[in-house]
A and B are shown apart, each in its own frame.
Chain A
């Protein structure tokens, strides 16, 4: 049992989840506990079918835990009365951009959430405009949603969440179906929301590079929480990652190989810039 502190926005406390109640042995999520602080950027890594997407749906009472508890801002997700307030606070962006856009026109889709919350029309207008500006899609507000690129569709989906003014957005593999440009667009949007709006982000992915700038990385395998730590801590455990179908980022792999070949690089190098700097400095020392 972890005690919920005020800084914890989201808390999983020994959560298990079975899709099939009768077959309770086959747990999609098993005894998972972790917290997400306000303004924190958490990346969840796991292979396809590891149960990481189930975690996303548990975080805003779309699924309710079979055992254990999930708390959002102190509210129990199993408490039906707080359902709306929980979903207002924690938004989820899913993998397939086509299957989460409801309306044919960009701004009308972004308005969908606030409309469901029964917000005043003028206020909705304001929120929609702000949300579209936050993701850089304001100029597209009157465009048809199905003509947008994958990355643009995902940004519209993100705007749809922002318009509900959440404190946390859970991204459930939002980049898996996108091309490199779309991936960059979505990744940068998530980062900016975290930095500029101090929004907590839970980013579920199987692209290792996307975990490099996280505050915290969680590894999930077969429904279990396998590891939790800073990117440096997680990516120093290559065997563990490979054993559960994952890998380390290219630059980590490269740094490891250099170290094995007698180049005394410091540990904890995660990205290209760090590697360049470190290599040049030991070369000149």
Chain B
């Protein structure tokens, strides 16, 4: 079932001022309910402009954004609905924390949705659980937390709205390896538990290859490619042309295939690469 449909969306350029927003040119795609969509693209390719379209923070100059079949930019009510159903979490969300306690900060979104106090409290607790926050942390000031905790608190603030679509812009940027691993698995847990549709913007091809069902590739304001992990990362040359890359494992296999063309090309994670290369080695030695 299609939950989100972006139809021929275009958006102009604010040229000549210090604050150029990347343009969008005739972008169309749709997202199935429960899907995990990865969005990749060079800085300035229009990714950030695109995700701001999804909850009407920016309005398309032409084209439509349909949520459950309805145009989100119809009127005030439809915009309000889009804001609560499409949860948008920007890059470095920890810089937007403002409340006295983490619990209050996480409650900000649900409260704005006009939910009852009881419902808000329950949502805060549930969201906190997803990011591994206990009571003690919830009562602390968000400004006293470590960097990784702040990030998780801020993401919980969007999760607490329990949006049908959770959109995350570079959720693990700036975190160390352990922090990255933890946060990615928290997002996956959230998705499994709620059945929400998730869209993740990332510069890490490895992360995207590992988790995405489908990938959107943005380039110079247009949607350059859309497809499965396999469909996208088999086009190495095209990606490099757009200033992107392929997962480390794919790049390795590509290099080996120059000498060993019979090697299976369909490899996107280090685990798969290890499996395939070990099997290939054994077969060679048995011959």
Contact = CB atoms under 8 A, between A and B. Distances in A.
A67 B274 CA distance: 48
B67 to A, nearest CB: 29
A177 to B, nearest CB: 6
A131 to B, nearest CB: 25
A208 B177 contact: yes
B281 A47 contact: no
B205 to A, nearest CB: 9
Given A147-B18, A276-B252, A280-B259, A177 B173 contact: yes
Q: Please tell me the size bucket of the interface on B.
A: 35 or more
A156 interface: no
A261 B179 CA distance: 29
Q: Is the interface of B mostly helix, strand, loop or mixed?
A: helix
Interface in A32-46: 46
A250 B259 CA distance: 22
B42 A251 contact: no
Nearest to B174: A176
A146 interface: yes
Contacts of A247: 177-178
A272 interface: yes
Nearest to A246: B177
Contacts of A179: 42-43, 203
A279 interface: yes
Contacts of B251: 272
A180 B206 CA distance: 12
Contact of A276 (B173, B256, B278): B256
A202 B160 CA distance: 42
Interface in B238-287: 243, 245, 248-249, 251-252, 255-256, 259-260, 270-271, 273-275, 277-278, 281-282, 284
19 contacts: A49-B146, A150-B43, A176-B173, A176-B174, A179-B203, A180-B245, A181-B243, A208-B177, A245-B177, A245-B178, A257-B274, A258-B281, A261-B274, A261-B278, A276-B255, A279-B277, A280-B256, A280-B260, A283-B260
Closest 3 CB pairs of A and B: A261-B278, A245-B178, A257-B274
Interface of B: 18, 42-43, 146-148, 173-179, 203, 206, 243, 245, 248-249, 251-252, 255-256, 259-260, 270-271, 273-275, 277-278, 281-282, 284
Given A208-B177, A279-B281, 15 more contacts: A46-B176, A49-B148, A144-B18, A176-B173, A179-B43, A181-B243, A245-B178, A246-B177, A254-B252, A254-B277, A257-B274, A257-B278, A258-B278, A262-B282, A276-B252
